[in-house]
């Protein structure tokens, strides 16, 4: 992508040498840096982009950058982002490195003391543009008077600097249409497979933040129960450019698409009118599926293929400790409602928490087996272990303290130990099994059967005789995403 790719419509671009980097965005073309690029372009700035998830690190881009924005919306992206920043620092010691996103805010103390020049959380696009403005003015002032240089002279709302941590910006921004020119094509990213055929996927966001306070989620510590809708015309324009780029399916990446059900319906109705063949998926809480069940049939008619719900557990003890807002009974009720609407349901799990037992683990497997959901759940979901990053709301709850160990600063998580050593051993073994199965492209039903046998063996001390789930041809399987870390 050349420097003119993000020029304003007026044809004027500041030569700020801005590089925006995505490290991992759940298998999607990175919305975060496309959104920042849209804000920069509107402000008259040129930018370059790099997505190390699908393209090689470009040392030339790193060398010419004066400002680098590294998007870290999740834990995996943060760990990769720190390595990328260290590499950039060796190539270009004087550039300004800013980390953007949820995990930047949660880990601001470490980042600012080790690698980052600044950190922005919350609604970060506008503060990043303000940071670029401030850095440009600072350079211009220094060019006129070298004695004015001060590494601590910047003060930008919503931007944290070493020794000066700021609260994130939490207000609805004047949104710009994400600018995607120069990003790798959609074919390089996750696809949706339906009836054995693959469709290119575009990823958009119709809202930001979340109304809820699930204590294990990284969103509440930053957003505090607030959410902001993106104007439908902005979302639709983004969808329009994705369809023009070949997208046949749209993933709405909102933390919960049904936080604002009226807004969600306006967006998908407009999308269906413009592109009736385009399908979509979204994420929604169990309690929202129950409360908003009347709109599920319309969502199906508008092209919804599947809904992702963070079920996490079937244990009411675990669900209470995570403040999930639903019960075991609610899970069955939500599954029934989604099925009645003719939409596939893809539950996600956190089977390994300090409160989960071996019986709880087996309960998840038996639920998936008995409800015919084997092909609705990616095997990696059975390996997920509770992550407790710095700033997590879990740290303020007494229930976690008996299990909590020290902060592993370089891995950005607090360690914890399960009171039943068998659970930690089970986690080790199922992780190894799923990793090997994934590399071998094993049929998910075969992997599930082996996981189920292993769980019973760990609990009962002997290998049981279990009926394996039926295997389905690819054309018979429910809609699924080719990137297993989509949850």
DSSP per position, 214-252: -TT-SHHHHHTT-EEEPPHHHHHHHHHHHHHTT-SEEEE
**Closest C-alpha among 21, 4, 12 to residue 67:** 21
Within 8 A by CB and 6+ apart from 74, the residues are 24, 26, 102, 103, 218
What residues form DSSP beta bridges with 50?
Answer: 21
Per the CB < 8 A criterion, the answer to whether 153 and 145 are in contact is no
Q: What residues does each domain of the chain span?
A: 3-148, 186-481
Per the CB < 8 A criterion, the answer to whether 400 and 354 are in contact is yes
The pLDDT of residue 16 is 59
Tell me the C-alpha distance between 213 and 83, whole Å: 31
φ and ψ at residue 353, rounded to 5 degrees: -130, 165
Q: Output the CA torsion 432→433→438→440 (10° steps).
A: 110
The pLDDT of residue 463 is 80
**Closest C-alpha among 405, 345, 363, 355 to residue 385:** 355
Tokens 């933390």 belong to residue: 255
The pLDDT of residue 464 is 84
The pLDDT of residue 204 is 98
Within 8 A by CB and 6+ apart from 40, the residues are 6, 18, 46, 47, 128, 129, 132
Tell me the C-alpha distance between 48 and 62, whole Å: 10
CATH topology of domain 186-481: pyruvate-formate lyase- activating enzyme (3.80.30)
* Residues constituting the chain: 487
Reading the block at residue 104, the tokens are 């930047």
Task: Provide the 8-state DSSP code for 391.
Answer: T
Radius of gyration of the chain, Cα coordinates, nearest whole angstrom: 23
The pLDDT of residue 484 is 74
Cα separation values, 433 from 33, 97, 437, 452, Å: 35, 39, 6, 11
Per the CB < 8 A criterion, the answer to whether 277 and 315 are in contact is no
Within 8 A by CB and 6+ apart from 267, the residues are 206, 232, 235, 236, 252
Average pLDDT by consecutive 10-residue portion of the chain (487 residues)? 40 69 94 97 96 96 97 95 98 97 96 97 97 92 70 84 94 96 96 96 97 94 95 98 98 97 98 98 98 97 98 98 97 98 98 98 98 97 96 94 94 96 97 96 97 96 91 95 70
Within 8 A by CB and 6+ apart from 430, the residues are 382, 383, 451, 454, 455
**Torsion sign, CA atoms 29, 31, 32, 35:** positive
The pLDDT of residue 141 is 83
CB-based burial, 199-214: b 16+ in 10 Å, e otherwise: bbbbbbbbbbbbbbeb
Q: Three-state SS for 115?
A: coil
Task: Kindly report the CATH number that applies to the domain delimited by 3-148.
Answer: 3.40.50.280
Task: Give all strands (DSSP E) within 364-435, no chain letters.
Answer: 404-408, 413-416
């Amino acid at each position: 992508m050349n420097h003119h790719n993000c020029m304003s419509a007026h044809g004027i671009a500041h030569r700020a040498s801005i590089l925006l980097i995505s490290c991992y965005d759940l298998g999607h073309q990175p919305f975060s840096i496309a959104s920042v690029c849209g804000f920069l372009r509107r402000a008259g700035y040129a930018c370059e982009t790099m997505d190390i998830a699908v393209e090689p690190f470009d040392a030339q881009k790193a060398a010419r950058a004066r400002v680098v924005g590294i998007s870290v919306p999740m834990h995996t992206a943060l760990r990769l982002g720190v390595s990328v920043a260290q590499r950039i620092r060796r190539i270009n010691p004087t550039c300004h490195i800013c980390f953007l996103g949820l995990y930047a805010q949660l880990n601001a103390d470490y980042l600012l003391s080790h690698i980052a020049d600044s950190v922005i959380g919350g609604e970060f696009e506008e503060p990043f543009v303000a940071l670029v403005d401030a850095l440009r003015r600072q350079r211009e002032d220094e060019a006129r008077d070298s004695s004015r240089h001060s590494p601590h002279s910047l003060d930008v709302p919503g931007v944290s600097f070493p020794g000066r941590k700021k609260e994130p910006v939490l207000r609805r921004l004047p949104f710009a249409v994400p600018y995607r020119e120069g990003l790798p094509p959609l074919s390089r990213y996750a696809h949706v497979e339906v009836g054995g055929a693959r469709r290119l996927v575009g990823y958009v966001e119709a809202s930001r933040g979340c109304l809820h306070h699930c204590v294990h989620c990284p969103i509440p510590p930053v957003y505090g129960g607030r959410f902001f809708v993106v104007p439908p015309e902005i979302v639709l324009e983004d969808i329009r450019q994705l369809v023009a780029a070949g997208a046949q399916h749209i993933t709405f990446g909102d933390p919960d698409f049904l936080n604002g059900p009226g807004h969600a319906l306006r967006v998908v109705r407009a999308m269906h009118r413009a592109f009736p063949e385009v399908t979509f998926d979204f994420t929604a809480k169990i309690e929202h599926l129950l409360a908003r069940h009347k709109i599920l049939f319309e969502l199906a008619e508008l092209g919804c293929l599947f809904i992702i719900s963070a079920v996490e557990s079937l244990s009411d003890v675990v669900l209470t400790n995570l403040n999930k807002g639903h019960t075991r009974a609610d899970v069955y009720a939500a599954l029934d409602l989604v099925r009645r609407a003719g939409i596939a349901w893809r539950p996600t799990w956190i089977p390994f928490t300090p409160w989960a037992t071996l019986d709880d683990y087996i309960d998840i497997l038996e639920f998936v087996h008995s409800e015919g959901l084997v092909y609705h759940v990616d095997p990696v979901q059975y390996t997920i272990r509770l992550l407790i990053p710095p700033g997590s709301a879990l740290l303020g709850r007494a229930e976690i303290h008996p299990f909590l160990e020290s902060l592993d600063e370089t891995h950005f998580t607090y360690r914890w130990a399960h009171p039943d050593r068998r659970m930690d051993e089970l986690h080790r073994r199922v992780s190894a099994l799923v990793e090997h199965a994934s590399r071998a492209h094993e049929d998910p039903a075969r992997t599930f059967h082996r996981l189920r046998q292993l769980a019973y063996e760990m609990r009962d001390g002997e290998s049981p005789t279990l009926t394996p789930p039926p295997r389905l041809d690819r054309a018979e399987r429910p809609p699924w995403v080719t990137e297993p870390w989509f949850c």
